[in-house]
Structure 1
């Protein structure tokens, strides 16, 4: 939808006259638009600093390991991945402990290995 509207306007940033092709155009170029935007952000930051009210943009989220540990600690049967998170070990290390017989595990299927929580407790008592 082409338009033949030509309106003489004054750029709100550099105050130069220009011919706008739409009625909403406020700046003579992309450069003036970008500079005006940055100036607006700068003014906002200065205003916040002067008033002493600065938005805290950082939100503290629970660490993924910490939130998972609460769930893991309530289970009686764990996966190898859960055991590795609980003990802060790598998965290969947990598999090595199973192979050495230090942790007893049950293979539910070829790809699913489960470990009783009591086996983890026995690891530290013996």
Structure 2
């Protein structure tokens, strides 16, 4: 079997270095990269199999826990992702009802924990501001504002910036909506 004189530019799938492959099916730049990639693939397959076996092993237990009214602290930590310390703190505060049947036999009502997570209130939506009207008759220029309200143009610019009033620049003129400016300067 002879060697090909082809030199195909490739990028190694393991180390991401560029190299010249001699065959169309070459995926790695060296034997060590191929071995490392194979080991990683086997490790991922092993983890996947372990997860599947755990799910098969505990699927009945998970289904049973989800139907019971009272669950243990350890089961609650797994189901709801809360630490044991947090659960005990919630029990002390009286936010969760529990029953202590003996040493390490504290049982928690599952519906109380579910109620903690379902009662999340969203903040009220802020009213969206309407888009400013930059039509010809509805805007002032900076000089018009300073003349009308007897204010320095620098002061007018500071007021616009401080109150976040939208502006539109056309050529050398800066236009500001009349209604926004009138609201601000009417109070002063």
TM-score higher than 0.5 = no
Normalised by the size of structure 1, how large is the TM-score?
0.44
Larger RCO (CA under 8 A, 6+ residues apart): 1
Q: Tell which structure's C-alpha radius of gyration is larger.
A: 2
